[in-house]
Amino acid sequence: MSTSNHIQLHRRFGSTILPWLLPLLILAAWEYSARSGLLSTRVLPEPWAVAKAAWHLVQTGELWSNLKVSAGRAFAGLAIGGGLGLLLGLLTGLFVPAQVALDTTLQMLRNIPPLAMIPLVILWFGIDEGAKLFLVALGVFFPLYLNTFHGIRTVDRNLIEMARSYGLSGWRLYRDVILPGALPSILVGLRFSLGLMWVLLIVAETISSSSGIGYMTMNAREFLQTDVVLVGILLYALLGKIADVAAKGLERVCLRWHPSYQ
Amino acid sequence: MNAAVRSPLPREAAPTGHDQPLPLPERAAGTKAHNGLAVSVRGLEKHYGERQVLRGLSLDIARGSFVAIVGRSGCGKSTLLRIVAGLEQADGGKLDVGTSSCACEQRPDIRLMFQDARLLPWKSVIDNVRLGLPRSALPAARAALRDVGLEDRARDWPAALSGGQRQRVALARALVHRPQLLLLDEPLGALDALTRIEMHALIERLWREHGFTALLVTHDVQEAVALADRVVVIEDGAIGLDQAVALPRPRARGSQAFAALEDRVLTQVLQQHADRPDAPASLEEQTDALRLATARWVI
């Protein structure tokens, strides 16, 4: 009994501490090289200076207001593009005529990198909010669309046959069998989308904006505030990580029946 | 105890003829159930593309009896069962189940058990059992689970169960609908020998208590002789042997009469192989592939 507890403790230690070991090592090496003068502060300021800059931004409220704007854009884009992707994925997955009519077109559009659209997007929307929303929405659309479609098409046909023979059809068949069966794939799509969401937002905000984390970092670049630039970059990393953790948490809740989540 | 009294669900109106004597005298003494659907198959034809699976097959199954269908892979036995279940349409011939000539999909009095349990992995055991039923059927689902001895696993996920337990849940899921005709499509094919013998006893007990008609498709001759009143050998889409099994229940597998019957059926099944050594072994797979190819996808 105590041995198994011991092993469990070991495992917990391994799984919670181990992933953070490498980042901490990198941080230590970074601090050391900055202090010893190996790295100039123009290239990379020491971590402590970055922390101080971050604290300063928090105190002035600048960080919070920019963060709010960026997160707002990201999630609005996700809601529009992801929602549309989910909807169209369901449509083409469930109805053969919809697939025939839409899928070829969507597969063609999928091959255009969203960032290649930037010149056109600027012509269409100018440089205001519309352009940023469009870019994010376009990028997150395809992962959700493709994975939803794929998820529905790969639901075990035997289960559907069984459910039909037990009298399920229409909405109930969809709710009890098709949607839960497609959910693992849909959630994979969501995780891809969340990753892309931040990437596209960074690019959109870097091009032009008057608020948001992208604006904050570009502004700092002009004043050679490398520490603030780094705060911005780290903030993106943190936001990406939070989004990923949230998606994983969602998987754990929604897929708790799945053997690999037990 | 009468199954009707035990049932918390209102029973479907049983077919007429409560006062008729049961067709099999050996059962009349042991059970008080008066239900079960009769099945009548006349000249059934079915082909997938070029290949004819059923060639004018005719079969009568008495109310409340237990009939086993044996045959080699691809002989058409599963197809017959799927047609009776309404999962597939025959290309010709006549099928009567009970009073209605329509074996339409979604008849609540016909239930099918598949080779794999086909439990929904995202629903708990109890929710799988009450699939397609309203919340009010929860006590009935619980009773069905108790019937198969898995009441304490009601809240578990199917993934946590063993293969035999999953099939027991699938059996409970079929029984909660109070079927008049239970179709079993090689339900024990994937289980180990010991679990199979336990499942035989369970299925036999539930059949005696509930009094439904049972139609079992299997490739295991011993299983067929152990469970059925009648063993039908299908070869090449038609009936090759129709053997009554008049052994008293519960049946001792070691007895001489049992062994003789088993041997007789087995000889018949093997002999057809000797006749057609060129028969492809994977006919069943071909059939499955064709089924998938024609499956429609609209809900």
Q: What is the pLDDT of residue B273?
A: 54
Taking the domains of chain A in order of start, what are their residue ranges?
A: 1-39, 45-261
Q: Residue A168: list chain B partners with CB under 8 A.
A: 131-132
pLDDT given for residue A36 in this prediction:
87
- A85 in Cβ contact with A189 (< 8 Å): yes
> What whole-number distance in Å separates Cα of residue B211 and Cα of residue B196?
21
Which of left, alpha, beta for B298 (phi over 0: left; psi -120 to 50: alpha)? beta
Q: Does A259 contact chain B (CB < 8 Å)?
A: yes
**What are the pLDDT tens digits along chain B (299 aa)?**
343 334 444 433 334 333 333 343 334 333 444 578 889 888 888 888 888 888 888 999 999 999 999 988 878 888 999 999 888 888 888 888 876 655 555 677 889 999 899 999 999 999 999 998 888 999 999 999 998 999 999 999 999 999 999 999 999 999 999 899 999 999 998 888 888 989 999 999 999 999 999 999 998 999 999 999 999 999 888 888 898 998 888 888 888 899 999 999 998 888 765 555 454 445 555 555 555 554 444 34
Closest by CA to A244, choosing from A86, A22, A19, A24, is A19
Rounded Cα distance, A141 and A97, in Å: 21
In angstroms, how far apart are the furthest CA atoms of chain B? 55
Q: How far is A180 from chain B (nearest CA, A)?
A: 7
The answer to whether residues B244 and B230 touch, using CB atoms and an 8 Å cutoff, is yes
d(CA B105, CA A249): 40
| pLDDT for the residue B5 | 39
pTM of the model: 0.77
Given an 8 Å threshold on Cβ–Cβ distance, is A257 in contact with B112?
no
Domains of chain B: 30-109+178-287 (3.40.50.300)
| pLDDT, position B226 | 92
User: Is A98 an 8 Å CB contact of chain B?
Assistant: no
Q: What is the DSSP letter of B100?
A: B
Chains A and B form CB pairs within 8 A to the count of 74
- The one-digit pLDDT tens for each residue of chain A (262 residues) are 455 667 676 777 777 888 888 988 998 998 888 888 888 877 888 888 889 999 999 999 888 999 999 999 999 999 999 999 999 999 999 898 998 899 889 988 889 888 888 889 889 988 788 889 999 999 999 999 999 999 999 999 999 999 988 888 888 999 999 999 999 999 999 999 998 898 899 888 888 778 888 889 888 888 888 889 989 988 888 888 898 899 989 999 889 888 887 6
Q: For Cα atoms B125, B131, B135, give the angle at the middle one, nearest 5 degrees.
A: 95
Distances (CA, A) of B284 to B71, B135, B151, B190: 12, 39, 36, 16
Asked if A155 is an interface residue toward chain B (Cβ–Cβ < 8 A), one would say no
pLDDT number for residue A114: 87
Tell me if B120 and A259 make a contact (CB, 8 A cut-off).
no
pLDDT score recorded for residue A210? 83
Record: fold of A45-261: MetI-like fold (1.10.3720)
The predicted pLDDT at position B295 comes to 47
ipTM of predicted complex: 0.76
Ordered DSSP codes for B243-267: EE--PPSSPPTTSHHHHHHHHHHHH
Q: B54: which strand partners?
A: B46
Return the number of other C-beta atoms located less than 10 Å from residue B83's C-beta. Answer: 23
At CA A35, angle to CA A34 and CA A41, rounded to 5? 45
> What confidence score (pLDDT) does residue B52 get?
86
Give the model confidence (pLDDT) of B57-105 as tens digits: 899 999 999 999 998 887 888 899 999 988 888 888 888 887 665 555 5
Is the alpha carbon torsion for B140, B141, B145, B146 positive or negative? negative
Residues on chain A touching B111 (C-beta within 8 angstroms): 165-166
User: Pairing relation of β-strands B39-48 and B51-61?
Assistant: antiparallel
Token pair listed for A55: 């604290």
Mutation target to probe the B interface, by most B beta carbons within 10 A, among A90, A91, A162, A171 is A162
Average pLDDT score, chain A: 88
